[in-house]
Amino acid sequence: MQNFARQLFRGAPVSAAIAAACTLVFAVMAAQARSLRDVVWDSVGAYLVLWGPEVRGLGAARAFTAGFVHLDLTHLVLNMLLLAVIGTEVERAVSSGPFALAYAAGVLGSSAAVLGFAFITPTAGASGALYALMAVFVAIAYRRHVDPRPAIALIAVNVVYTFIAANVSVWGHAGGLLIGALMAWPLTSPNTRVRWLTAGAALAGAAAAVAVGALPSTQALT
């Protein structure tokens, strides 16, 4: 199993680190909750999940930490499988540094959308960032002059799932997909400098959007 994981994440150290972090966070929550289901509220996850009224002061970190929190084992496994398939490919294509910034931008972009349109809805999971990566994956297909339809179909299937499944953050997914679409083409540029600038700008923009989205919680204190 260890060798399989090494092969799966070969050449993608950031993706491997994200998967390890998500798995570790889930293991701690599951141990505290003594369950593999609904692990958030009876564990440290309650302090990490995104929830608008708490996104103030140090609580603003929830906009980022929520991307490493998963509600149950199935939620974790599905997201980590997608990260292993899509995230590793994107990381190898754009290089690890820009990928790390772009992934963080996806997390924050997803959180910003939730704060803007579903402020009082608790939200967690890596899905928003993964939607951003799926958009970038389409751009990679075009850059490589290969058929982009499988990548587009992957997005379509996930969008349909978003609207038919229960307890899925529509706005979180939409925010991730939007920021991914905005940075996809320049992020996959053959120019290293362009990739870094794109990822950095996306991260800065997403952080600014989170700050704006958190204003209701800040104003509630005044």
Q: What local confidence, expressed as pLDDT, does residue 221 receive? A: 47
What is the SS3 assignment for 113-161?
HHHHHCCCCCECCCHHHHHHHHHHHHHHHHHCCCCCHHHHHHHHHHHHH
Q: What local confidence, expressed as pLDDT, does residue 5 receive? A: 73
pLDDT averaged over every residue in the chain: 94
pLDDT in tens, 61-82: 999 999 999 999 999 999 999 9
Which of 40, 113, 128, 38 has its CA nearest to residue 83?
128
Q: What is the CA radius of gyration of the chain?
A: 17
Q: How confident is the model at residue 215 (pLDDT cuts 50, 70, 90)?
A: confident
Highest-pLDDT range among 9-13, 57-61, 107-111, 162-166: 107-111
Which of 20, 203, 27 has its CA nearest to residue 102?
203
CA distance 126 to 103: 10
Pair 126, 22: CB distance under 8 Å: yes
Q: How confident is the model at residue 218 (pLDDT cuts 50, 70, 90)?
A: low
pLDDT in tens, 89-98: 999 999 999 9
Q: Which two tokens stand for residue 58?
A: 């140090």
pLDDT in tens, 15-49: 999 999 999 999 999 999 999 999 999 999 999 99
Q: What local confidence, expressed as pLDDT, does residue 1 receive? A: 61
Domain span at 50: 2-219
CA distance 36 to 165: 20
- The total of other beta-carbon atoms located within 10 Å of residue 96's CB is 15
Q: What local confidence, expressed as pLDDT, does residue 167 receive? A: 86
Q: How many domains does the chain have?
A: 1
Q: What CATH number corresponds to the domain at position 120?
A: 1.20.1540.10
- For the chain, percent of residues with pLDDT exceeding 70: 96
Residue 129 has pLDDT above 90, yes or no: yes
